Chain A
Amino acid sequence: MVQGITGKEGSFHTSMMLKYGTKVVAGVSPGKGGSQVNGVPVYDTVQEATKEHEIDASIIFVPAKFASDAVYEAVDAGVKLIVVITEHIPVVEVAKFVRYAKVRGSRVIGPNCPGLVVPGESLLGILPSKYFKKGSIGIVSRSGTLTYEVSHLVGDIGQSTVIGIGGDPIVGTSLQDVVIEFDSDEHTEAIVIIGEIGGTMEEKVAQMKRDGKIRKSIVGYIAGLTAPKEKRMGHAGAVVYMGMGTFESKVESFKRANIPVANTPYEIRDILTKIIRK
């Protein structure tokens, strides 16, 4: 289901997702019920859509002011996976809807994320599909464009699943969550983490690896070596406050957990090749 399907982004990416083979069965746009977008029926409310169709995931393209409302609506209708593409949602609102969804058993990915793709199968997001190829690497990233770049660079090995979790300070699905999923996913042979300054999710993953909770090999990359402290680098998440989440602390924790760290995105491929050949 696509919430905000009649908007410019919503309708464009619906067509891209359909082209990729994603089963988009319904769209929601208040006041536009009864119309169609790319052959997909549009409903006024999520509840109307879920009554007519079996919906296991929703993707949200609703503008920031109304995006929280859309998330609550999806959770209340029992949608289990909600991908929030929308950027610029106030952080306190995000914290609240993430909590609400979790308590009711729904998973939120994002906000401010590019979504996810299972190459050759399904695309739930805005990722440009031509850079993905079916393969064995699980990629999880906090940055959109860097996800495309790295997927492109490891293109000959291919990816099992690629997930952009979003760069906001608070996100519904963390690096840890995705790494755990990859660890038990039979199609994933090795995991690539594309991190950046701010927050401590990378450190948490490193700790899990040290504790033996993750069995598969991980390759890490952290953007922000040259980022000055207390300056926001682009989106809201990439800022170091109170010394938490510096480039150094992330790289250090990866190294302590024996997770190889690529100095540049270009090194990721070489490291992966060595790991996979083992």
Chain B
Amino acid sequence: MKLYEYEGKRLFSYVGIPTPNGQVVREPVKVQGKVVVKAQLLEGGRGKRGLVRVTEDSYTTISELMREGVSIFLIEEFVPHSREIYLSAMMDRETGNPMIIASPQGGINIEESKEVKIFTIPLDRKLMRYDVDAVEKYVGVRGLEPMLEGLLRLVLEYDAELAEINPVAVTEKGPLALDSKVILDDNALYRHEDLLKQFQREKSQSDSYVELDGDVGIIGNGAGLTMATMDLVKLMGGNPADFLDVGGGADTEKVTSAIMRVGSNQKVKKIVINIFGGITRCDEVAKGILNAYTKIGKPIYVRLTGTNEEEGKKMLQSHGIKVYEDALAAIGDALRS
């Protein structure tokens, strides 16, 4: 679950990561002096979109941003600083250890930066002074211990999948977290009910729907097969409109709601469904397709194989829906239509 910047900073304060003074507001307010008004959104790239503004008139700035549809704001003191660096922590997938990722340049597009170094902190021990020394030497900034300690605690105690400070401002009074990006492990949310309550957030069901730009709706079972289906559509000259994995053992209801969700996207002109039944039963899937078919009124191309495929195929065919053995044929027909 992605947290808002202000929620992430709340967690920062719990683990001792210093942040600028600020307040969260949902309406225009007047604040003395130079401040930064930051729209609170879950998507990135706010700076580029003009949603982070330095102003001496917070009231007007917030009013303007509200007209653009933003509803939550973080107002922070303006922090003069000489340099920016990058710090984050997450679990290293290869070694199963937590790691700290650092760059002497903050605010940059970290993915493309050449100056990035990974510091692995073995799971069997805590952060040691010499770890801190190594990071501080690499980025050329002192006083990072509270931040490094805090980031690791967010990963290990708060189950953050990613805890990122970008940028860290280097000020006369020490380093300060200007921004926060915290993603909590959905699977561990049951251990953090108190946080969800405090942030008034619902436990997001690990969502398996991702919207894309194209016009071919994609539904599959299993992340791999669904991704492979998207890729096939692309390779054969089409454009996927989404990724939707109905998961293992999807029942009629789940399939129906998946089709309704994809089909209600205005951009979607046709839908490709690719099901390889293992735990998932093809007859259940077929029932789900029939429930949704007439309601969405868009062509559906179904590849259905695996457990109970005969029953499933018969049900669809008796309602005039063509069923394919082979995903290539289903996608080919979908793209030609």
Nearest A residue to B231 by beta-carbon distance? A225
Shortest C-beta distance, B3 to chain A (Å), equals 15
The verdict on B61 contacting chain A, using a C-beta distance below 8 Å, is: no
A 119-134 binary contact with B (CB < 8 Å = 1; else 0): 0000000111000000
Chain B proximity of A254: nearest CB distance (Å) = 15
Our count of residue pairs bridging A and B at CB distance below 8 angstroms stands at: 169
Q: How far is the CA of A228 from the CA of B242 in the complex (A)?
A: 10
Check if A231 is an interface residue, CB within 8 A of chain B. yes
The interface bits of chain A over 166-183 (1 if a CB of B lies within 8 angstroms of the residue's CB, else 0) are 010110001000000000
A21 at the B interface (CB under 8 A)? no
User: Interface readout for B179-204 with A: 1 if CB under 8 Å, 0 if not?
Assistant: 00000011110110000000000000
The B interface is mostly helix, strand or loop, or mixed, namely: mixed
The CA-CA distance from A127 to B278 in the complex, in Å, is: 7
List residues 31-70 of chain A with CB under 8 A from any CB of chain B.
Answer: 64-65
Q: Which of B231-252 contact A (CB under 8 A)?
A: 231-235, 240, 243, 245, 247-248
B228 close to A146 (CB less than 8 A)? yes
Partner of B231, one of A169, A204, A223: A223
Interface segment, one of A76-84, A93-101, A154-162:
A93-101
A235 within 8 A of B: yes
Max chain A C-beta neighbours (<10 A), residue from B88, B191, B245, B279? B279
Tell me the smallest distance from the CB of B249 to a CB of chain A, in Å: 9
Q: Mark B148-161, 1 if CB is under 8 A from A, else 0.
A: 00000001100101
CB atoms of A145 and B225 under 8 A apart: yes
Separation of A238 and B225 alpha carbons in the complex (Å): 12
Known: A98-B96, A99-B96, A148-B306. A224 touches B227 (CB 8 A): yes
- With most chain A CB atoms within 10 A of its CB, the pick from B123, B207, B243 is B243
Q: Mark B102-128, 1 if CB is under 8 A from A, else 0.
A: 000000001110001000000110000
Enumerate chain B residues within 8 angstroms of A241, measured Cβ to Cβ: 90, 162
A22-30, A211-219, A263-271 - the one binding chain B: A263-271
> Is B97's CB under 8 angstroms from A95's CB?
yes
Query: Known contacts A224-B231, A241-B162, A264-B235; is A234 also within 8 Å of B186 by CB?
Result: no
- Chain A hits for B231, CB < 8 A: 223-226, 264
Chain B residues lying within 8 Å of A10, measured Cβ to Cβ, are none
Would you call B222 an interface residue if the criterion is a C-beta within 8 Å of the partner chain's C-beta atoms?
A: yes
Are B96 and A95 in contact, with the CB atoms below 8 A? Answer: yes
Tell me if B63 counts as interface (CB < 8 A to partner A).
no
B110 & A242 in contact (Cβ 8 Å cutoff): yes
Interface assignment of A194: CB less than 8 Å from any CB of chain B: yes
Contact check: which of A95, A126, A141, A196 meets B278 at CB < 8 Å?
A126
Tell me if A18 is interfacial: C-beta within 8 Å of chain B. no
Are A90 and B235 within 8 A (Cβ)?
Answer: no
Interface pair B278/A243, CB less than 8 Å apart: no
Interface residues of B in 57-87 (CB under 8 A from A): none
Asked if B212 contacts A95 (CB within 8 A), the reply is: no
A90 to B241 alpha-carbon distance, docked (Å): 30
Q: Which residues of A contact B187 (CB under 8 A)?
A: 64, 88-91, 236
Q: Tell me the bound Cα distance from A64 to B110 in angstroms.
A: 34
Q: How far is the CA of A166 from the CA of B231 in the complex (A)?
A: 21
A-chain residues with CB within 8 Å of residue B222 when the two chains form the complex: 143-146, 234
Tell whether, in the assembled complex, residue B234 and residue A128 are in contact, meaning their CB atoms are under 8 Å apart. Answer: no
A118 beta carbon closer than 8 Å to chain B: no
Instruction: Please state if A226 and B225 are interface contacts (CB–CB under 8 Å).
Output: no
Contact assessment for A95 and B91 in the assembled complex, using a CB-CB cutoff below 8 Å:
yes
Contact (Cβ within 8 A) A88 B206: yes
Given contacts A90-B187, A148-B276, A169-B93, contact A234 B226 (CB under 8 A): yes
- Known contacts A128-B307, A145-B278: does B224 contact A242 (CB below 8 Å)? no
Instruction: Flag if B234 contacts A225 (CB, 8 Å).
Output: yes
Please give me the residue from chain B that is nearest to A266 by CB atom. B328
Which residues from chain B contact A198 at a C-beta distance below 8 Å?
Answer: 93
Q: Are A99 and B123 in contact (CB under 8 A)?
A: yes
Query: Is A233 located at the chain interface by the 8 A CB criterion?
Result: yes
Known A-B contacts A225-B231, A226-B230, A234-B223; A90 and B159 likewise in contact (beta carbons under 8 Å): yes
Is there an interface contact between A238 and B227, defined as CB atoms closer than 8 Å? yes
B327, chain A: closest CB distance, angstroms: 8
Cα of A204 to Cα of B93 in the assembled complex, Å: 12
Distance to closest chain A CB from B216 (angstroms): 11
A-B residue pairs, 4 tightest by C-beta: A143-B224, A234-B223, A145-B222, A243-B111
5 other A-B residue contacts (CB within 8 Å) besides A145-B222, A169-B93, A241-B90: A89-B187, A114-B278, A152-B276, A170-B96, A194-B224
22 sample A-B contacts, Cβ–Cβ < 8 Å, listed by A number: A90-B191, A91-B161, A92-B159, A95-B91, A127-B278, A145-B222, A146-B224, A148-B276, A174-B94, A200-B93, A200-B94, A223-B225, A223-B228, A224-B227, A226-B212, A228-B212, A232-B207, A232-B210, A233-B243, A234-B222, A242-B110, A264-B228
